[in-house]
Copies of this chain bind each other. A is one copy, B any other.
Amino acid sequence: MQRYKSMGNFAALELRIIPFCLKLTMSKEKQQTSISELGEFGLIDRLTKNIHLKNKSTIKGVGDDAAILDYKDKQIVVSTDLLTEGIHFNLMYVPLKHLGYKAVIVNLSDVCAMNAVPKQITVNIALSSKFSVEAVEELYSGIHLACEKYGVDLVGGDTTSSLTGLTISISVLGEIKNENIVYRSGAKPTDLLCVTGDLGGAYMGLQLLERENEVFKGNENLQPQLEGYDYILERQLKPEARVDIVSAFRETGIKPTSMIDISDGLSSEIMHLCKNSNVGCNLYEDKIPMDSQTKKMAEELNINPLVAALNGGEDYELLFTISLEDYEKIKLDPDFTIIGHMTEPSEGSNLVTTSGSAIPLQAQGWNHGK
C-alpha cells in the first residue's frame, strides 16, 4: 500500500536529465519557433489538437467560449491556484515539463483534500516573448501527462502574453457525493491527527536544487551532484496528488472528520484545521514521518529536518483527523501515520517535542514580499 513511493521514477518525466533545463530546452539543437509566427489562434490549435476527453461529465471541452460539464446528482468541487516565475518556481532548475505537471498536481491535491475526485481543469498561461512555441509545448506536455495519469480532462483556458516571465493559473473541478464531503471544520477533541506519506522531502529537494544551481552559476562546466537524492528531487519536481487515498477512504469506509492538503507546511495546515474546527492539537515530534533522504540532506545542509517538515510545504500529502473509533481501520496501513490528537481549543496547538515539552505551533503563509 506504499502507493506512490514504490512507483520509482516516472519514466515519462525524465528526471535524470533535468537540471539547468532552460539551457537544454532553449538550445539550438532543437528547432525553435517564435510564438508570433503562429499567432494566438495557431498556438492554441497546436496546444489543444491532441486533447481527447475522458470523462462522461465533460460534455464540451476546449474550442468554444466556455466548456460544458454535467455532474447530474453529484456536487461540484472547484479550486484554483496561481504560480509565478521567480516566486513559485525557478526555470534554472525546474524543467518546463515538470512545472506543467506540478501545476496540475497542486490543484488536484486541493480536490483530494475535500475527499473528492478531480475531473476537469482549465489552464491559463501568460508568457513573455523569451518563450518559444516549443517551450510552451514542453510545458503543456507536462500538463497533458498529469491529465492522462489522473484521468482529468483539460477543458479550457487562455494563453496570452506577459511583459516578463511565466505565470500559470489552473482551475480544477471535481465531483463528490454530498455525504462524502470533508471540510476543514469537522475535527473534534480526541480525534486522531493523521498524515499520509512522509514530510519535508519536497523542501529538502528544493534546497538541494538551489545549492547545485549556485554551484552551476559559479562554474557552468560543473555538473550538478544529485546522485543518491532521487526521492527528494522527485518530491520537489514531480509531486503526486493523493487520489489513491481518497479511493482508499471509500474502500475502507473511512470518512475523515476534517482534512486539508499540505501545501504550506504541516504547522500551518494544522493551524487551519484547528481554527476552522475550533479545537486544539498536540502534535508529537517523534511521530512525524520523514524519509531517510530528507534527514540525510538536512544533515548535509545543517538544517533541522523538523523545520523542513513543519514549515517546508509542497509535500501535497493529506492531513486529516478521524474519530477514535476509526483507529482500527487505519492502524495497519503504512500510508497513514498518526502524528497527534485534537484537544479542547483552550489548550492551543502545540508541538510536543521528544523531550516532552510543548511548544506552540506557528503558521507560515507566503512572505515573498518581505
Known: A82-B167, A158-B82. A71 touches B76 (CB 8 A): yes
What is the CA–CA distance of A1 and B228 in the complex, to the nearest angstrom?
A: 71
Complex interface bits, A54-90 against B, C-beta within 8 A gives 1, otherwise 0: 0000011001111111111101111111101111100
Complex interface bits, A150-186 against B, C-beta within 8 A gives 1, otherwise 0: 0000011110111111010101111010100101110
User: Using Cβ atoms and an 8 Å threshold, which residues of chain B touch A71?
Assistant: 71, 76
User: Using Cβ atoms and an 8 Å threshold, which residues of chain B touch A314?
Assistant: none
Q: Which of A20-28, A33-41, A335-343 contacts B (4 or more CB under 8 A)?
A: A33-41
User: Using Cβ atoms and an 8 Å threshold, which residues of chain B touch A143?
Assistant: none
**Smallest Cβ-Cβ distance to A368: which chain B residue:** B161
Whether a CB of chain B sits under 8 angstroms from the CB of A225 is no
Whether a CB of chain B sits under 8 angstroms from the CB of A120 is yes
Cross-chain contact A68 with B181 (CB below 8 angstroms)? yes
User: Using Cβ atoms and an 8 Å threshold, which residues of chain B touch A110?
Assistant: 65-66
User: Using Cβ atoms and an 8 Å threshold, which residues of chain B touch A10?
Assistant: none
What is the CA–CA distance of A88 and B161 in the complex, to the nearest angstrom?
A: 9
Cross-chain contact B165 with A164 (CB below 8 angstroms)? yes
Cross-chain contact B82 with A183 (CB below 8 angstroms)? no
Cross-chain contact A155 with B78 (CB below 8 angstroms)? yes
Known: A36-B370, A366-B161, A369-B161. A68 touches B114 (CB 8 A): yes
Whether a CB of chain B sits under 8 angstroms from the CB of A215 is no
Cross-chain contact A80 with B124 (CB below 8 angstroms)? yes
Cross-chain contact A79 with B36 (CB below 8 angstroms)? no
Complex interface bits, A80-118 against B, C-beta within 8 A gives 1, otherwise 0: 111011111000000000000000000000110110100
User: Using Cβ atoms and an 8 Å threshold, which residues of chain B touch A162?
Assistant: 84, 86-87, 165, 167
Whether a CB of chain B sits under 8 angstroms from the CB of A257 is no
What are 14 A-B pairs at a CB distance below 8 A?
A: A40-B366, A64-B183, A65-B184, A65-B259, A66-B174, A68-B76, A68-B181, A79-B122, A80-B122, A86-B162, A87-B162, A162-B165, A163-B165, A171-B171
Query: Contact residues of A with B, CB < 8 Å?
Result: 34-36, 39-41, 59-60, 63-73, 75-82, 84-88, 110-111, 113-114, 116, 120, 122, 124-126, 129, 155-158, 160-165, 167, 169, 171-174, 176, 178, 181, 183-185, 259-261, 276, 363, 365-370
